[in-house]
Amino acid sequence: MTLDFSSLLPYTDQILEGLVTTVWLTVVTTVAGIALAVVVAYVRDGARVRGASLVSRLLGGYVEVIRNTPFIVQLFFLFFGLPALGVPISATVAALIAMILNLGAYTAEILRAGIESTTRGQHEAARALGLSRLQSFRHVVLVPAFSRVYPSLISQCIIVMLGSAVVSQISVFDLTYAANFIQSRNFRGFEVYLVVTAIYLLLAVGLRLVFEFVGRRLFAFRQGGSA
């Protein structure tokens, strides 16, 4: 068998389209998923002070459901299930919502570990200065909590980026969909998947580098020493 990468050239547009879709799905999911996780973690953290409310229990249920069911089933549930209930939903919107809900749940759980390891002294200092629970969460708790769990957070975002390949199953034109599309036309499966694999690898490395860059800015306080 001879390798023939030139057979991919006519499909450059499809590969680019797939790449763009995968990248923007990942970027939007990362931002929205982390924001969702912060809200979920804040509400669930309220149980520490005033006991578990109905909302915090519901959010706990959401986190457990997402973490204990396959992503592809969650995706199918949104894409095929919602229209069956009379709620029409496009493939792209279903993919985006599924990815955000997925990252949000995992990140909320990761973040919870960081939040729970906040020392009593930090809470008391914030209270003695008159900060409300929300002010304390925002200004005192959140950044150190993120810094403690940052490596796990990076991994989770990369997992979700790679997992986005599954959205090709509901015909979202992402990178994997592009690969399947090309392979079904030129039958050069080895070349197509080799190139797409390399692109995923570069995306994962790139995403990690971006996170590490942001982390160095955000957590500059850690470079002074440990405390």
Using CB under 8 A as the criterion, which residues of the chain lie in contact with other proteins when the complex forms?
A: 119, 121-122, 124-125, 127-132, 135, 139-140, 143-144, 147, 219-222, 224-227
Q: Which long-range contacts (CB under 8 A, 24 or more apart) does 11-15 make?
A: 11/178, 11/181, 11/182, 11/185, 11/186, 14/178, 14/181, 14/182, 15/175, 15/178, 15/179, 15/182, 15/195, 15/196, 15/199
Cβ neighbours for 166, distance < 8 A, ≥ 6 positions apart: 71, 72, 75
Nearer to other proteins, 1 or 128 (CB): 128
**What is the smallest separation between the CB atom of 216 and other proteins, expressed in angstroms?**
13
For 197: left if phi > 0, alpha if psi spans -120 to 50, otherwise beta; the answer is: alpha
**What is the smallest separation between the CB atom of 210 and other proteins, expressed in angstroms?**
21
Nearer to other proteins, 51 or 225 (CB): 225
**What is the smallest separation between the CB atom of 46 and other proteins, expressed in angstroms?**
16
**What is the smallest separation between the CB atom of 103 and other proteins, expressed in angstroms?**
24
Nearer to other proteins, 92 or 147 (CB): 147
Nearer to other proteins, 163 or 222 (CB): 222
Q: What are phi and psi of 50, to 5 degrees?
A: -125, 20
Taking a C-beta distance cutoff of 8 angstroms, is the pair 112, 38 a contact?
no
**What is the smallest separation between the CB atom of 55 and other proteins, expressed in angstroms?**
23
**What is the smallest separation between the CB atom of 142 and other proteins, expressed in angstroms?**
9
Nearer to other proteins, 136 or 164 (CB): 136
Question: Using CA of residue 215, residue 217, residue 221, residue 223, what is the dihedral sign?
Answer: positive
Nearer to other proteins, 2 or 226 (CB): 226
Closest CA to 96 of 146, 164, 2: 164
